Amino acid sequence: MADKTPFRVIIVGAGPVGLYLGYALGLANIDYVILERKESVLVNYGSIIYLWPQTARLFDQLQLLEPVQQAAARMRNKKRTDGFTGNVLTTARFPEFMERRHGYPFLPIVRCDLLRILYNNLPDKETRIKTSSEVVAIETHSTGVQVHLKSGAVENGSIVIGADGVHSKIRSELKLLYKAAKGIDANAAPMMANFNGVIGRASNKDLRIEENVLFETRGTGTVIQCTATKKGEVHFATITPVPDPKPAARQRVTMQDVEDHAASIGHVVVCRGVTFKDLWDNTGKNTVWKLNQEEGLLTHWHHDRIALVGDAVHKSTSQNGLGLNLGLHSAASLANELQSLLQRNPSPVTSAVDQAFSRYQHTREDEVQFILNMGRGMVRDSASKTWGTWLWTRLMLPWLDIESFGYGIITSLMMIRLGLVLLYVPFIGKQGSMAWKNKPLSAP
Ligand SMILES: Cc1cc2nc3c(=O)[nH]c(=O)nc-3n(C[C@H](O)[C@H](O)[C@H](O)COP(=O)(O)OP(=O)(O)OC[C@H]3O[C@@H](n4cnc5c(N)ncnc54)[C@H](O)[C@@H]3O)c2cc1C
């Protein structure tokens, strides 16, 4: 039976993906609310996230490119270094070539700065976002959903979108409802914490690391990525394989755990003359964070009136710098499907919602799978310390670096040019020498 109340989307999680989805639904005139577990959307910690050109285009469409560009650092090139000596093995100038080819730059931005921009510019944020609203359970019925909060309050809506990150509660609820309906497990293969590491921010005053370069170590068993910005800060993240990987779960970490982990990788040479210990000694300890770096891709992205988006459904380590980029594009795809569905039928029945969710998964699944597989290969290759890798790194990599080959043409063709946009938002945007595959309505 069709419902008479206006369609209302409940987004769970005010991370970057949940906030982006809020903008996208607002532009489609779809009513929504965002429920966030924390007391505030704004935080003052976080690592650098590399927004790729296709994602810069998404922000351009929201008219947020300017503030994002102002807050972002520049990225000149990426240098892969030998983690034993700090010698540069490859220098990929692809950020520069990508900007020429696609019209938009790479934008390295600290996650909390991105959240601040998304939050501050969100129309009607005071009523759209409800903080201290942790979701603990979901019930679905023939025309909508009831979302139960830890406070005891209940939020009613038409559908739920779980943008609640890698430890997603909505994913667990979806699994329970799926099992109750079908008698089998959805998403039997969980997200796995295959790697862990630390993130933090060091002073560059004494280190003098070259600015606006992404350094990435190879060959030592741990991948260390760092970038020095014009503000005199070095942002870093480390990725080490875990000997006995477990399914992703929130972890309690003490400062001693963080120090022990940092000490175990102190010998890795980040770039010429700078070891990780040097970096650590110049790091403000209030900026450090130890975290698992999970990997995984769900088989069931939706069930009934519930769908998942962002890290809740697909997750890679930070090494390929694509997790959020993928999440934002998935959110754009989901918004396109919902806008198209509601334009045809403002009160869709559950089977129509299910079809729209299926099209969303279908649109995104192949690209996500491809990129996650590539990411899995890259992080294992960079972390590996076998003789084979040692030889490959020194003899072949400098000549066969895919990021330098043809000025990054493969990355352009197979990924960047395929970037999505909100199809219903008139927009011209920028273009370089290579045309975008997906174009929205032209601006009037
Ligand atoms: C060190 C590091 C570097 C990275 N670098 C890059 C990079 O260069 N490029 C890139 O694209 N990606 C990068 N990533 C990945 C990127 O940070 C994530 O993909 C991105 O943050 C995922 O966004 P999200 O909104 O899906 O989830 P999250 O950012 O995890 O947000 C989820 C939100 O949901 C809230 N929440 C959780 N449970 C509940 C609940 N039950 N009820 C209500 N609210 C809830 C949380 O409080 C949170 O605010 C990096 C990640 C790390 C760790």
pLDDT tens-digit readout, 21-74: 999 999 999 999 999 999 999 987 788 999 999 999 999 999 999 999 999 988
Is the CB of residue 35 below 6 angstroms from any atom belonging to ligand 1? Answer: yes
More confident residue, 380 or 44: 380
- For the ranges 93-107, 237-251, 298-312, the maximum mean pLDDT occurs at 298-312
What is the SS3 assignment for 132-169?
Answer: CCCEEEEEEECCEEEEEECCCCEEEECEEEECCCCCCH
Q: Stretch 363-391: mean pLDDT, rounded?
A: 90
Neighbours of 345 (CB within 10 A): 12
| 435 Cβ contact list (under 8 Å, min separation 6) | 417
- Give the residue among 357, 365, 311 at the shortest CA–CA distance from 334: 357
193: helix, coil or strand? strand
Cα separation of 431 and 409, whole Å?
16
Is the CB of residue 375 below 6 angstroms from any atom belonging to ligand 1? Answer: no
Residue given tokens 């982006």 in the structure block = 20
Is the CB of residue 327 below 6 angstroms from any atom belonging to ligand 1? Answer: yes
| Model pLDDT for residues 197-236, shown as the tens digit of each residue | 999 999 999 999 999 999 999 999 999 999 999 999 999 9
State the distance from the centre of ligand 1 to the C-alpha of 392, rounded, in angstroms. Answer: 34
Q: Considering the chain, what is the average pLDDT of its residues?
A: 93
Looking at the DSSP bridge assignments, the partners of residue 225 are 216, 237
More confident residue, 79 or 404: 79
| 269 Cβ contact list (under 8 Å, min separation 6) | 81, 82, 83, 84, 85, 86, 217, 275, 276
pLDDT at 94: 81
Please, which pLDDT band fits residue 1 given cuts at 50, 70 and 90?
A: very low
Percent with pLDDT over 90 in the chain: 82
Pocket test residue of 23, 37, 54 for ligand 1, highest count of atoms within 8 A of CB: 37
Neighbours of 314 (CB within 10 A): 27
Q: Stretch 381-387: mean pLDDT, rounded?
A: 86
Is the CB of residue 320 below 6 angstroms from any atom belonging to ligand 1? Answer: no
| 192 Cβ contact list (under 8 Å, min separation 6) | 245, 246, 247, 248, 294, 295, 296
Decide if 315 contacts 22 (C-beta within 8 A).
Answer: no
Rg (CA), the chain: 22
Q: Per-residue pLDDT for 291 more than 70?
A: yes
| Model pLDDT for residues 92-145, shown as the tens digit of each residue | 888 888 899 999 999 999 999 999 999 999 999 999 999 999 999 999 999 999
Is the CB of residue 324 below 6 angstroms from any atom belonging to ligand 1? Answer: yes
Is the CB of residue 163 below 6 angstroms from any atom belonging to ligand 1? Answer: yes
Neighbours of 116 (CB within 10 A): 17
Q: Per-residue pLDDT for 444 more than 60?
A: no
- Give the residue among 204, 151, 147, 187 at the shortest CA–CA distance from 13: 147
275: helix, coil or strand? strand
State the distance from the centre of ligand 1 to the C-alpha of 165, rounded, in angstroms. Answer: 5
Is the CB of residue 47 below 6 angstroms from any atom belonging to ligand 1? Answer: yes
> Which atom of ligand 1 sits closest to the CA of residue 327?
26
| 17 Cβ contact list (under 8 Å, min separation 6) | 163, 309, 310, 311, 324, 327, 328, 330, 331
Q: Per-residue pLDDT for 3 more than 60?
A: no
State the distance from the centre of ligand 1 to the C-alpha of 205, rounded, in angstroms. Answer: 30
Alpha helix ranges (H) inside 323-428: 323-344, 350-383, 387-391, 409-414
Q: Per-residue pLDDT for 443 more than 70?
A: no
> Which atom of ligand 1 sits closest to the CA of residue 325?
11
Catalytic residue positions, numbered: 225
Q: Stretch 331-358: mean pLDDT, rounded?
A: 97
Decide if 382 contacts 218 (C-beta within 8 A).
Answer: yes
> Which atom of ligand 1 sits closest to the CA of residue 50?
8
Pocket test residue of 171, 311, 374 for ligand 1, highest count of atoms within 8 A of CB: 311
pLDDT at 377: 92
State the distance from the centre of ligand 1 to the C-alpha of 336, rounded, in angstroms. Answer: 22
Residue given tokens 């910690």 in the structure block = 45
pLDDT at 4: 61
Degrees (nearest 5) of the Cα angle 22, 63, 364?
50
Between the two ends of the chain, the Cα-to-Cα distance in Å is 39
Is the CB of residue 38 below 6 angstroms from any atom belonging to ligand 1? Answer: yes
Percent with pLDDT over 70 in the chain: 98
